């Protein structure tokens, strides 16, 4: 007769599974299996988990898989790296259900090629552009991804201007007069707000139209 020894469940396992379940519900991954593998790999390697901070409801509809919550996850995972490789970008995008075509397009727009690394902030600018219908929406998406202020969603003026510059100059060889007018306006607003800007500043009646 085969004797089976008593199986012992690690004391931490129930907590791990509970946290995993909450994370899956909050994140609503497109592919649960792929996301789960990425979740436990990050947990094992003590890296930032591919988990949204809160449930997006209703879940934003997006052809390329990018939503404010997902872009924020990518930013939390990759911003600490500074420059990232294509393999790093691809890994986190696959886990979060971002279309590979979109990731490749953003990578190339940011100056990526075969091998090497690219500044994550440059990739972020183009991911936001590829996931929205206007420069204004792209900047608002960037602000939601990078802010450390969950209430006012403030970001430093220099951070927003840098993203605006990358988005604008991708389609304009030189900055337009309209771009310069917007930048000057945002600088003026930020001077009264301790160097910060909020999404609502971009839609003030007095704000020049952002192209």
Residue 82: how many CA atoms within 13 Å on its side-chain side? 1
| pTM of the model as a whole | 0.90
> Do the beta carbons of residue 77 and residue 120 sit within 8 Å?
no
Read off φ and ψ for residue 118, nearest 5 degrees. -135, 145
pLDDT tens string 190-206? 999 999 999 999 999 99
CA distance 162 to 159: 5
CA distance 35 to 51: 9
The pLDDT of residue 57 is 81
Chain centroid offset of residue 141 CA: 8
The pLDDT of residue 62 is 76
- The mean pLDDT of the chain is 91
Average pLDDT over residues 152-157: 93
Average pLDDT over residues 16-35: 95
CA dihedral 112, 116, 120, 124 (to 10 degrees): 20
The pLDDT of residue 27 is 95
CA distance 90 to 75: 13
Q: Among the listed ranges 55-64, 123-132, 171-180, which one has the minimum average pLDDT value? A: 55-64
Instruction: List C-alpha distances in Å: 10 to 15, 17, 39, 42, 90.
Output: 10, 11, 19, 19, 33
Asked if pLDDT for residue 68 goes beyond 80, the answer is: yes
The pLDDT of residue 22 is 96
The pLDDT of residue 139 is 97
Whole-number percent of the chain with pLDDT over 90: 81
CA distance 64 to 66: 6
Chain centroid offset of residue 74 CA: 4
Residue in the structure block whose two tokens are 């590979």:
100
Asked if pLDDT for residue 152 goes beyond 60, the answer is: yes
CA distance 171 to 154: 27
């Amino acid at each position: 007769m085969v004797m089976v020894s008593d199986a012992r469940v690690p004391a931490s396992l129930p907590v791990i599974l509970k946290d995993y379940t909450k994370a899956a519900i909050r994140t609503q991954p497109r592919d649960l299996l792929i996301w789960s593998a990425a979740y436990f790999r990050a947990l094992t390697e003590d890296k930032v988990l591919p988990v949204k901070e809160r449930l997006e409801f209703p879940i934003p509809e997006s052809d390329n898989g990018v939503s404010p919550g997902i872009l924020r996850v990518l930013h939390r995972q990759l911003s600490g790296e500074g420059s990232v490789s294509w393999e790093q970008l691809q890994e986190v995008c696959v886990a979060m259900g971002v279309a590979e075509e979109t990731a490749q397009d953003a990578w190339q727009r940011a100056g990526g090629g075969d091998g090497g690394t690219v500044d994550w902030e440059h990739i972020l600018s183009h991911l936001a552009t590829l996931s929205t219908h206007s420069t204004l929406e792209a900047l608002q998406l960037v602000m939601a991804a990078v802010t450390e202020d969950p209430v006012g969603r403030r970001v430093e003026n220099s951070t927003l201007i840098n993203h605006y510059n990358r988005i604008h100059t991708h389609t304009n060889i030189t900055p337009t007069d309209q771009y310069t007018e917007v930048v000057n306006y945002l600088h003026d607003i930020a001077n009264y707000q301790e160097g910060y800007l909020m999404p609502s500043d971009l839609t003030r009646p007095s704000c020049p139209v952002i192209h």
